[in-house]
Amino acid sequence: MRNDLKVLYNEVEIAAKVAELAAKINADYRDRDLAIVGVLKGCFIFLADLVRLLDTDCTVDFLGLSSYGRRHATDGVVQITSDLTLPIRGRDVLIVEDIIDTGITMRYLVENLKTRRPKSLAICTLLYRDSGEACMVPVDYAGFTFQDHYVIGYGLDYAGLHRNIPFVGYKPG
Ligand code: IMP
Ligand code: MG
């Protein structure tokens, strides 16, 4: 598969973007009570790279969400498949996501986490697919904005596979 892909963002470009995002987060979260919340499974590589560049104390927790009933199309149904293990009440929560497309998944998550009364809630995504329609949630830290392609690699999957590809790519045609 890897050899059939076109590279959208290579390892060097990704590393530079992650460093850029980390610098902003470091500046914004100095002396705050940062709770990183990663959205499984797609976030795992991005989050691992990002948190190692954070120089502020933080906890790291994960939750599992599923939004794709079928392979490519969002069916609008979002479910928490595994929940956080740490309370977030009163804390400065930063959600870390691999990609935001329609924003349906993220909107659901934001609404859910708000009921747990965090002190603040912000969103960081490596990728943002701009479909021309307004995203359903405001994104505080967005890495790359792109159009059209279904992308895989650097944590992102197609039918559960290809998360281990070190760059972000797509199948042409
Ligand atoms: P949304 O609810 O439409 O914003 O979809 C977001 C979720 O769909 C992401 O968290 C991903 O898990 C998945 N997703 C959307 N686009 C892609 C893609 O291009 N590659 C891999 N997963 C994607
Ligand atoms: Mg995701």
Q: Which atom of ligand 1 is nearest to the CA of 97?
A: 10
pLDDT at 13 over 70: yes
pLDDT at 72 over 60: no
pLDDT at 48 over 90: yes
* DSSP-assigned beta bridge partners for residue 168: 9
Protein residues with CB under 6 Å of any ligand 1 atom: 42, 67-68, 74, 97-106, 150-152, 156
Could you list which residues have their CB under 5 Å from ion ligand 2? 39, 42, 98
Separation of CA 64 and ligand 2 centre (Å): 9
CA distance linking residue 13 with residue 20, whole number of Å: 11
Q: Which atom of ligand 1 is nearest to the CA of 135?
A: 4
Q: In this structure, which ligand is nearest to the CA of 101?
A: 1
**Among 20-24, 31-35, 75-79, whose mean pLDDT is lowest?**
75-79
Separation of CA 134 and ligand 2 centre (Å): 19
Position 70 confidence tier, pLDDT thresholds 50, 70, 90: very low
Closest CA to 84 of 59, 49, 120: 59
Instruction: Give, for 16, the enclosing helix (H) or strand (E).
Output: helix 11-28
pLDDT score recorded for residue 133: 79
pLDDT in tens, 106-162: 999 999 999 999 999 999 999 999 988 777 889 999 999 999 899 999 999 999 999
pLDDT score recorded for residue 1: 83
* DSSP-assigned beta bridge partners for residue 161: 158
pLDDT score recorded for residue 28: 98
Position 2 confidence tier, pLDDT thresholds 50, 70, 90: confident
Greatest CA separation for the chain = 48
CA distance linking residue 56 with residue 117, whole number of Å: 22
Catalytic-residue membership of 101? yes
| Catalytic position from the list 55, 101, 130, 140 | 101
What does pTM read for this prediction? 0.94
Query: How far from 123 is each of 102, 158, 162, CA to CA, in Å?
Result: 14, 23, 25
Separation of CA 145 and ligand 2 centre (Å): 15
- Contact indicator for 26, 56 with CB cutoff of 8 Å: yes
Residue nearest to atom 14 of ligand 1 (CA): 99
